Structure 1
Amino acid sequence: MNSLPFEALACPLDGDPLTQAGGTWRCAAGHSFDIAKQGYVNLLPVQRKRSADPGDSKAMVAARQRFLNAGYYQPIAEAVSEAVLEDRAEGATLACLDAGCGEGYYLRQLANAATDAAPLELIGLDISKWAVLAAAKQGIAGQKSPIGATWVVGSNANLPVQAQALDRLLCMFGFPVVEEFARVLKPGGVWLQVEAGPNHLRELREVIYPTLKPERVSNAPVPEGFTQANTQTLNYSLTLEGKAAIADLLAMTPHLYRATAEGRERAAALEALSVTVDVQLSKLVRNG
């Protein structure tokens, strides 16, 4: 493991660079943001919140943490880590943001994959304070030390990151904001977008919904300012044994709130479920 905290933060109020002094980040205008005792900083101004507690709930974060730590999405993490680390200059430090980091699973896997030949500066950002809190606390109570990373409560719509400060940007099943992603990536920097494919968790969806909607064919153009490098499809099956694992999978997805009460009851009655994991990993390069 070879990772360090990312330091090129920007003030969410005026965009000026932030400097850390002790337990506080400050900009030249005097705006200050305290680092919480758990090790994260909140850079989401109250005037930019759409609700009092935006993003994933505490229960949703806990369910995702249990599910991911069980290794069900390990092949996705390995593919993402490989994509981040490929085509790097030997010995060069890579600054990487996970935009919508959740409880930090993918950054932890990336840190484990890094070597001294590929040092990383990591920042995990999520709009959910519960997600960032869980990410910052990972490993503190266990045998494994927490990874070197900066954990931030913030929004993809207004990334508190200085312009052209990043070499890599991850968006895992999240909501991309093209203009912001283009602003914070260096020319030649890589944006890795992971999205659900047409058959992702199909068996679970068949249980909780009366009928499945036809899959939409995506013909979205390449985002402005980027060049499409490649798209990789990852497809495999996994079997969930026991009600708890099935409940965690449902709870960590938006399907929990979209399903009918009858659909949730059918899922809760299952003792085992085999599901398809079908995701697409798209690699886009920031134009110079």
Structure 2
Amino acid sequence: MAITPFQALACPLDNKALRRQGASWRCADGHCFDIASQGYTNLLPVQKKRSLDPGDSKEMVAARRRYLSAGHYAPIADAVSRAVLADHTAGQTLSGLDAGCGEGYYLRQLASAALREDRSLSLLGLDISKWAVQAAAKQDKQTAWVVGSNAALPVLPATVDCLLCMFGFPVYAEFARVLKPGGVLLQVDAGPDHLRELREVIYPTLKPARSEEAAAPAGFTRLSREIVSCRVDIAGAEQIADLLSMTPHLYRATAEGRARAAALTEISLTVDVLVSRFARMG
């Protein structure tokens, strides 16, 4: 079995199918998108950008790579891989999209798990940050990597079996459009106790946790909900800074809160996430 690049890409200018021609992707109308030397393709036209350099910066991507490579979120990756492969029919190739892939950690872990279980996957990683996609492409040549936006996925309709949204920005109408009927959306969100100890350092008070379970998004039915919880020990100011830089708390915290975090040399943290599986209706 093998991991192969996802092929059902769509032109971001006219939504027509893209075909690989040498080192480029072209649609029937002649729009051409070159494959960069690192192995990724930019499918985010300048007119659809909200800033000159959207998404995570080069420094944030490097911090995320260092933190995830240390294995602190391996239990999350394992739970995601199990959930994806549970929907995999032996002998078939499952197409997967990570919408907001960052530097590719979760897709790399999924690919490794699939190969261990002798499964075939066709994978696409997409992120709005060119620095994230560039880093992902440098580490993995078996997956297709593209710069793009969840608001307008450059993917043909009904071509994806499983879509991952990891701590990201879900656009459910787009997710439903690209998923096959019965396809699975696997969404990972922070739970009420996620990184509580760090939040207690950087914020004067914590907001009350939401107790109710959110309804399934429009166009989907809920399949399952799993809580992944564990403890991680972070040693060194550099690793703590890496963690903070890959969370929204970097921007939400005050200067005083960030200074308190920067003074830490070690911290024991709760990892608490919700892994929700939804099926595309219709």
Normalised by the shorter chain, which TM-score bucket?
A: over 0.9
Alpha carbons 1:93, 1:119 under 8 Å: kept: yes
Find out whether 1:198 has 2:199 as its counterpart.
no
RMSD (CA atoms): 1.2
Alpha carbons 1:2, 1:112 under 8 Å: kept: no
Find out whether 1:120 has 2:114 as its counterpart.
no
CA apart distance, 1:97: 0.2
Alpha carbons 2:39, 2:141 under 8 Å: kept: no
For 2:281 and 2:205, locate their aligned partners in 1 and report how far apart those are by CA, in whole Å. 42
Counterpart for residue 69 of structure 2: 69
For 1:222 and 1:5, locate their aligned partners in 2 and report how far apart those are by CA, in whole Å. 30
CA apart distance, 1:215: 2.0
User: SS of the residue aligned with 2:68?
Assistant: helix
User: SS of the residue aligned with 1:282?
Assistant: strand
Find out whether 1:238 has 2:239 as its counterpart.
no
Alpha carbons 1:242, 1:272 under 8 Å: kept: yes
What is the one-letter code of the residue matched to 1:283? R
Counterpart for residue 211 of structure 1: 205
CA apart distance, 1:147: 4.5
**Deviates further, 217-226 or 30-39:** 217-226
What is the one-letter code of the residue matched to 1:10? A
CA apart distance, 1:117: 3.9
Aligned to 1:280, which of 264, 274, 282? 274
User: SS of the residue aligned with 2:214?
Assistant: coil
CA apart distance, 1:218: 4.5
CA apart distance, 1:210: 1.3
For 2:113 and 2:214, locate their aligned partners in 1 and report how far apart those are by CA, in whole Å. 32
Alpha carbons 2:97, 2:123 under 8 Å: kept: yes
What is the one-letter code of the residue matched to 2:103? E
For 1:225 and 1:112, locate their aligned partners in 2 and report how far apart those are by CA, in whole Å. 31
Aligned to 2:252, which of 249, 258, 267? 258
For 2:141 and 2:24, locate their aligned partners in 1 and report how far apart those are by CA, in whole Å. 20
For 1:130 and 1:239, locate their aligned partners in 2 and report how far apart those are by CA, in whole Å. 28
CA apart distance, 1:217: 3.8
Find out whether 1:47 has 2:35 as its counterpart.
no
Alpha carbons 1:108, 1:147 under 8 Å: kept: no
Counterpart for residue 106 of structure 1: 106
Alpha carbons 1:182, 1:225 under 8 Å: kept: yes
For 1:87 and 1:134, locate their aligned partners in 2 and report how far apart those are by CA, in whole Å. 29
5+ unaligned residues in a row in structure 1: which ranges? 139-145
Q: Deviations over 1:82-111 (max 9, x none)?
A: 100113211110000000000000000001
Counting aligned pairs with the same residue, the percent is 66
CA apart distance, 1:40: 0.3
For 1:147 and 1:108, locate their aligned partners in 2 and report how far apart those are by CA, in whole Å. 10
CA apart distance, 1:216: 3.1
Alpha carbons 1:67, 1:249 under 8 Å: kept: yes
What is the one-letter code of the residue matched to 2:52? A
User: SS of the residue aligned with 1:228?
Assistant: strand
Task: State the TM-score, normalizing by the size of structure 1.
Answer: 0.95
CA apart distance, 1:203: 0.4
Task: State the TM-score, normalizing by the size of structure 2.
Answer: 0.97
Counterpart for residue 181 of structure 1: 175
Alpha carbons 1:187, 1:287 under 8 Å: kept: yes
Alpha carbons 1:11, 1:27 under 8 Å: kept: yes
Matched length: 281
For 2:242 and 2:41, locate their aligned partners in 1 and report how far apart those are by CA, in whole Å. 28
CA apart distance, 1:221: 2.3
CA apart distance, 1:219: 4.6
What is the one-letter code of the residue matched to 2:129? S
